[in-house]
Amino acid sequence: MTKIANRSVLITGGAAGIGKLLAERCLKAGAYKVILWDINEINLLEAKKDFARQGYDVDTYVVDVASLEDITTAAKAVKEAHGPVDILFNNAGIVVGKTFAEHSHRDISKTIDINVSGVMHVALCFLPDMVDQQEGHLINIASAAGLMPNPNMSVYAASKWAVVGWSESVRLEMEEQNTNVNITTVMPSYINTGMFDGVKSPLLTPTLTPEFIVDKIMEAVKDNDILVQEPFMVKALPAMRGILPTRVFDFVAGRVFKVYKAMDNFVGRPKDEAVPDKEKLSAKK
């Protein structure tokens, strides 16, 4: 069981949405220090003010997790100020909602840099300290898209497949080495945070509220659960893909449950709320 009370917590993409809610839950659970990383300085300032009004003090850092230099510089500053991080939420991510052929090379690089490389580099900065102190918890926010293909989100799906495979592999390493460091991989379907505005949820797969998935994540952290897969149909995906022939699965997923049509009317966050370089990307914060 992971104790949050009197532990230090770092959350990437922590200035709004899921990240901010995770911060709030950790503060209420008694974390002695919550550290927020985000690329959006305005959102960070607002989050700090919001928490101050509730009587909490959080530390904020403007960090672009697509930049290794940003990551290592901020990680060094965090360690010098607060020592090792006990609980790390790898939450930052982006999505480009269009066919692969419509992607620019920059779309691809940015998605992989943030969703894959950024996740790994952030973890590498803090995981060795957890191993050394024989205690810690790494939570990687992946996606149900890491379990199956989906049109109009090919690079996003690829990035989440990578995160799931990496996260589970690191978990096995931690267990084999008896490090007492826990790894939790989170694979939710669509969440109503603005990141997937315009998406039509598949049959029997309701759009999740941020509060619901954060509750599930916090329960998983406290119980040292390996996976968080929500809603229920996400849990059924691996079995269905393993049992059904590919064409049959495509028919069931595409024609019956309408999974392959979910992104047809994707809008995402308004342009002025996306990442500062103003690309047509939707930032998960």
Q: Which residues are catalytic?
A: 156
What is the number of H-type helices and E-type strands within the chain?
9, 9
CA distance 224 to 4: 12
Q: Do residues 257 and 202 touch, judged by C-beta distance below 8 A?
A: yes
Tokens found for residue 137 = 């918890």
CA 33 to chain centre: 20
CA 241-247-249 angle, 5° bins: 30
Closest CA to 85 of 40, 133, 118: 133
Closest CA to 65 of 136, 140, 130: 140
CA distance 236 to 239: 6
Beta bridge partners of 187: 229
CA distance 242 to 190: 23
